[in-house]
Structure formats: C-alpha cells, structure tokens
A and B are shown apart, each in its own frame.
Chain A
Amino acid sequence: MYITVVILPLIGSLISGFGGRLLGYYGASIFATSCVGLSFFLSLLIFYEVGFCNSVCYISLSSWISTGTLTVNWGFLFDAVTSVMLIVVTSISTLVHMYSISYMENDPHCPRFMSYLEIFTFFMLVLVTADNTLQMFLGWEGVGLASYLLINFWFTRLAANQSAIKALVVNRIGDFGLSIGIFALFYIFNSVDYLTIFSLTPFFQNYCLSFLGIDINTLTFIGVLLFIGAVGKSAQLGLHTWLPDAMEGPTPVSALIHAATMVTAGVFLIIRFSPLVEYSSTILGILIIFGSLTTFFAAMTGTFQNDLKRVIAYSTCSQLGYMVFACGLSCYNVSMFHLTNHAFFKALLFLSAGSIIHALSDEQDMRRMGSLSQFLPVTYSLMLIGSLALTGFPFLAGFYSKDFILELSQIGTNSNLNNSIAALSCWLGTLSVLFTSFYSFRLIYLAFLNNSNSSKKVLTSVHESNLLMLIPLLILAVGSIFIGYLTKDFFIGFGTNFWNSSIFILPYNANFIESEFLEVQIKWLPFLLSTFGIILATIINLSRFYILINWNFHNFFAFLINKKWFWDFIYSRFFIYPILTFGYNITLKNLDRGFIELAGPYGVMNFIPTWANLIKKLQTGQITHYIFFMILGLCSFFILFYLIENLQFSMFLYFVLMFFI
C-alpha cells in the first residue's frame, strides 16, 4: 500500500502518455484520474494508520548508490508530515485531474496533459516520501521538470515558452543552493539519511565550518543553503519572479503547481528539516525576515494586478510567506496546518478562476469582466467562499491557521522573549491581512459585482461550467469551509501527539501556550483588519472614488505596484542582460570564437602555411646559397658535437650565441 501510492501516478503517467493515442481522449483522462484517485484513497488509509494510529512506516527498498562511505537507499519514510503532504498532494491532484477532463476537452493534446499532471504528482510524492536528501532531490528536480512541461503545455505560445524557461532557470538557482546544502550535509554527517542527520544534529550545535577563511556555524551554513532551495521553490522574495509568470500555463496547472504541490515543497523542506533548523537561531531569523517580507510584498503587489490569475498567484506567494515565517517562529505544525488549508482554498480559487476564464472564452483581464454573478452564480458563490477562507473569515479554513500564525507572531513582540525579529513578522503579517482581503474583494467586485465591461459577443456565450468541472469545485469548497475546523485539534491542538517526532521544536522556542494569554483586542485585530479591507474594497468599487484617479501619488503608487515594484525590470537590467551580454560578447565572441580559436585550430591552420612559405623561399635556386647551407650545416654539426663533449664550455658558448642573437 505504501509503495503503491507512489507508483500509481507513475503508471498512470506512462500509460496515458505513451498509450494516449490508443486509449483515446476519455480513456487517457479517466485512466489517469482513476490512478491518482486510487492513490488518494490509499493515502487516506496511510493518514489513518500513520497519523491517528501513530505507526510510522519506514520502507527501504534497495540500494541505489553505494560507494565508499556514501550509501543511498531507495527508502520511503511515512511519518505524520509525509502523510499530511500525501493527503494534500493526492487530493488536490485528483480534483485537478477531474476538473481537467472537462477543462481540456477541446485540446488535441489532452493525454499528454494528463500524463504531465500525473508525472508531476509522482515526483511530488517521491519528494515527500523520501527518507534521504538525495531521493528528495530527485523529486525536487522532477517537480521542476514537470512544472516546465506543464507551464509550457501550449508550446506554440511565446509567452508560455518564456515563462516555462524562467520558471525552470529561477528554480535552478534555488536548486543550486539546495544541492550545495546536500553536499554540506554529507560532508558534515557522512550520510544523507534524514534519520542519521537529525539524530546527529545536536552534536554539531557549536561546530564551525571554515568557509572562505571565515568560521561559520555549520548548522547555520546548511540551513541557509537549504533555505535558498526553499526560496526558489516556494517563491520567496528574491526568487519569486517566476511564480506570477507561471500563470501562462493552463489554469488547472496553476491550481496544482501554485496552490497545492510545487510551491509547498519549499515549506515542506523547512518543516522536514525542523530538527536541524531549530538549532540555529540565525536561520530562524532569516526565515522570519524573508517570510514576512514576502508576505507583505506579495500582498501589496496583488492589490493592483489586473490579471485574474496573477492576483491569485501573488496571494499564493503571500500565503507562502506566512508559512515560512511561521517556520521561523518555530511553529512548524502551524505552518503545516496553514499549508493544508491553503492548498484547499487556493485550489478552489484557481479552479474557480479557471471556470470564469472558461466561461468568458479565455478572457483573463479583470477589467473586461463584471456582473458575472448573474451569469455564473455557482462559480460566484464558490469564489466567495474561497476568498473568505483566504482572508481568514471566522470559522473558515484560513481563520484557524492564519489567525493562529498571527497570534504567535504577536507573542514575538513580547520583549521577554528576546526575539526582536519576530516583531517584524508581526507587523508585516498583520498589515498583509488588510491587503489580502482588499485584493480578494477587489477581484470579487471586478469580476462579479461591478458593471460588465465585456463585449456583447462574449456575454451572449457566457455559460456556467458543466458538472464535471463544478463537482471538484464543490468538494474543494466543502474542504475550504470545514478542513480547518476538523483538523485543528490534531494538527495544532495543545498536547496533540499527532506529529510524534516528525516535527521537532526546541522547548525553548515553543510558545503555543502564550497565545492563549494575549489580549482580546489583539486577537480581534486580524479580523478587524480583514473586515476593513473588505469595506475598503467595497467603498472604492461601489462609490467610484474619482478623487483617486486624479491623485498623482495614487497613480504613481498604482503604477509601481502594478509593475511588481520593478523586480523583473531590475533583474533583467542588472542581472540577466549583463550576463547575456557577457556570454555573447566575452565568452562567445572573445574567448570561444576569439582567443581559443586563434590559438587552436585557426592559429595552426595559419601558422603552418606561413612558415612553409618562408622555408620554401630558402630554396632560391642559387647554387651558392645551397653551398652556404651545406657548409653552415657542417659547421653547426661540428659545433654541436663540440658542445656535447665539453658541456661546461658549451654553456658559455650558448650565452655568447644568445648575446649575439
């Protein structure tokens, strides 16, 4: 059962990929969906067995690499974290598959699409079930590859190609850090197995590594490298630029990659490495800083985006920031809880967006939508549920996790704890709540409630999606409403033994109980802010704030944010363009085709004929010259012999010769 969960998507992928033409459109889709669906049911059983019955399962299949001290096995570790990830990945994947059957109906390459989705799920499962870093890295890279294939699914579009390459390359930067981190882990611990590494970590708490002549704490060093990997995958500030661009893929792909699976891999990595990260307070600080900055930046950027999917993409980025700084606050279980909830409501939002886009014949710009609540009542209500869950409306999924994260960050502002960085996360995280609810409801107003801006042609063909698309949405909506309430107690309840030893929190850092003693006003703060955001969005959209349109500062600000704070511009101006120029002008033109060719093939090719011509000219035809050379040869022959016989003297002669020459 345990291995089958992982293998089933692979089988589904291979059969629907290679036998797509044989199975036909519906055959391939249904086969793929049923494979991943079966995998979902098995992972439910695993969840029950591992999570509730507390029987951690460890399977070592066979040896993979075995040379010297490096021994890597094909091993699978099913503990609580893995079982939760399994549920998240397979459930969202199943629903996305089901949704795609109808969404991709008119696409000629549907079996290929299904195959890619399936291989994506497979690699994600490899990532979460691995028991060593190397196998995890296999899944990690595989997920990157699958995301490339999926974003690039409509490969005839230039934008899709560009974004796919961007996604792959930007992810590769993070993977570079991660791979160095894995090397460092092996260098320190002589093993890549999680269990070995984690059990040895406390011994290396004060161990220093000399890097470039500077002594760095080993655990900090490794943690930073692992975090660089997580930054790439989870689109944290710095390497976040690929995530909004990845919206070029089909909408179910966005739902799968950018809500439930790929981007959560980075957070999963941090949670998995909690026994290591926990021992370095520097790393926790970095997590808090980057996480909270990402939260704030992405939430702010989301507010003035006009593309329907981009708004949701930035919201994903922002929510991932919450998860990361929750890890930085040592609340890995809360982070995991938010990950689970987020997967449900974000998949709901993405798939609803897909439903809108489908209804409006592939129109993604929110400025050309409006009054869709009359045409798409079901999608409207689903989207509303998703948005409310996202804003943390009480008793929906987001409320239980996000508010708890914010409460925990409020504890950090307590001066007794000496964690001054946590105050940053508190302020930025709490402010982001305002932006989150603002952009969510801006989306709702622009798409559903304002007057319509669509053309008549589009409006006459608007239709509610068919049942096959709506059923996954309904299931996700039910999940978004109830999942937080249902799973709260055993995920983050006080004294729960659900996580067993899969998550490690130093007693020094565990502050759960303090959150119970916060003041009531502070506990109400996130709710008040999100309500304020909703009201703000309502006022601006209903009463038409004309003053804003003529306000210079507003226009400048809106432009700046709409252009994503010019991150992409700065990157292309200061990194990509100089590197490309360097690559073309210096490495290619000057080195490869210049210097090396001049010294290598071209040089030899020119050198030999030139000298051959010179030597040819020695044969002048004059007999006297020939005789001269004969005598010269004879003389030098004698001199040579003479030199060999009296070496001491020859050196002197040699110097004399050199002098004259």
Chain B
Amino acid sequence: MYEQINYLNTSTALFLISIIGIFLNQKNILIMLMSLEMMFLSISFNLIFSSILIDDIVGQIFSLLILTVAAAESSIGLAILVIYYRIRSVITVELMTLMSG
C-alpha cells in the first residue's frame, strides 16, 4: 500500500516539476526540451508501475513505444533548435515573440 501511493506521488511530482520547468522557464529553450523529456519519463514511469500493479503487459509495451517517440521527438526538437540558433544566434525563449497576435 505504501509503495502504491509512493509511485503515484513520484510520477505526479515528476510530471508537475516538468510542467513547471516548461512554464517558468524564460531563458533557455534547451531546458524546455529537457523538461519535455522528463514529462515523457514521468509518464513512462507511471505506465510501468501501473502495469506491474494491475498485472498487465500493455503498460510496459506502451512505455517502450513512448521511449521511441520521445527519442524521435527530442532529435527533431534539437534539430529545430540548432537551425533556430544558426539563424537567430540566441536560444532565449523570451525573445521568441515575432508571432504575436
């Protein structure tokens, strides 16, 4: 029982930390990508624990798929970041306001 609550709390805390990392981050887009990775991790964490808990393999398969997607996503994200850096020479989030309404 203690373990069950613990894993839920851990994964939720991780998720919230990653959201706050995206949300409060004003300077560096790299941190934003890292937070995103952490969000994927927390979800995978959650899935694996729950698959063990309810004794179902689908959760683990799903977490493997998420790892794949996260890898692809972070590679594309980093590629965009590099291209952006080449053009603007900064990676500050605050300064990305050319598309205001």
Contact = CB atoms under 8 A, between A and B. Distances in A.
Contacts of A623: 32, 93, 96
A621 B93 contact: no
Contact of A621 (B23, B24, B99): B99
A203 to B, nearest CB: 80
Interface string B5-44: 0000000000000010011111000001000000000000
B23 A627 contact: yes
A622 B23 contact: no
B98 interface: yes
A553 to B, nearest CB: 86
Contacts of B3: none
B101 A619 contact: yes
A620 B101 contact: yes
Contact of A616 (B32, B99, B101): B101
Counting chain A CB atoms within 10 Å of each CB, the highest count among B32, B96, B99, B101 belongs to B101
A620 B23 CA distance: 15
Contact of A622 (B22, B32, B94): B94
Contact of B25 (A617, A618, A624): A624
A628 B20 CA distance: 10
A620 B97 CA distance: 7
A622 B96 CA distance: 7
Of the candidates B22, B24, B26, B100, the one having the most CB atoms from chain A within 10 angstroms of its own CB is: B100
Interface residues of A, number: 12
A627 B97 CA distance: 14
A631 B23 contact: yes
A585 B93 CA distance: 59
A627 B24 CA distance: 10
A420 B47 CA distance: 110
Interface string A590-622: 000000000000000000000000001111111
B101 A624 contact: no
Contacts of A618: 101
Contacts of A628: 23
A342 B22 CA distance: 104
A618 B97 CA distance: 13
A618 B100 CA distance: 9
A463 to B, nearest CB: 91
B25 A621 contact: no
Contacts of A624: 23-26, 93
A627 B22 contact: yes
Nearest to B98: A621
Contacts of B32: 623
B94 A621 contact: no
Contacts of A622: 93-94, 96-97
B19 A621 contact: no
B1 to A, nearest CB: 26
A617 B93 CA distance: 19
Interface string A35-77: 0000000000000000000000000000000000000000000
A620 B101 CA distance: 6
Contacts of B25: 624
B97 A617 contact: no
B30 to A, nearest CB: 14
Contacts of B19: 631
A72 B72 CA distance: 91
A616 to B, nearest CB: 5
A619 to B, nearest CB: 3
Contacts of A621: 96-101
B42 to A, nearest CB: 15
B101 to A, nearest CB: 3
A620 B93 contact: no
Given A624-B25, A631-B19, A619 B100 contact: yes
A622 B98 CA distance: 9
Contact of B100 (A620, A627, A631): A620
A622 B26 CA distance: 9
Contacts of B26: 624
A624 B26 CA distance: 7
Interface in A615-646: 616-624, 627-628, 631
B70 to A, nearest CB: 19
A617 B22 CA distance: 22
B80 to A, nearest CB: 13
A621 to B, nearest CB: 3
Contacts of A616: 101
Nearest to B23: A627
Nearest to A617: B101
Nearest to B94: A622
Contacts of A619: 99-101
Contacts of A631: 19, 23
Nearest to B24: A624
Contacts of B24: 624
A272 B24 CA distance: 95
A631 B100 CA distance: 19
Interface string B54-95: 000000000000000000000000000000000000000110
A624 B23 CA distance: 5
Contacts of B96: 621-623
B81 to A, nearest CB: 13
Nearest to A622: B97
A620 B99 CA distance: 8
A618 B101 CA distance: 7
B74 to A, nearest CB: 17
A628 B97 CA distance: 15
A617 B97 CA distance: 13
A620 B93 CA distance: 13
A624 B22 CA distance: 7
A304 to B, nearest CB: 81
A623 to B, nearest CB: 6
A156 to B, nearest CB: 64
A458 to B, nearest CB: 85
B44 to A, nearest CB: 20
Interface string A79-103: 0000000000000000000000000
A624 B32 CA distance: 10
A111 to B, nearest CB: 73
Contacts of B93: 622-624
Instruction: Pick from A617, A618, A627 the residue with the most CB of B within 10 Å.
Output: A627
A627 B32 CA distance: 11
A353 B46 CA distance: 114
Question: Which 5 A-B pairs give the minimum distances between C-beta atoms?
Answer: A619-B101, A621-B100, A621-B97, A616-B101, A621-B99
Given A624-B23, A627-B22, 17 more contacts: A616-B101, A617-B101, A618-B101, A619-B99, A619-B101, A620-B100, A621-B97, A621-B98, A622-B93, A622-B96, A622-B97, A623-B93, A623-B96, A624-B24, A624-B26, A624-B93, A631-B19
13 contacts: A619-B99, A619-B101, A621-B97, A621-B98, A621-B99, A621-B101, A622-B96, A623-B32, A623-B93, A624-B24, A624-B26, A624-B93, A631-B23
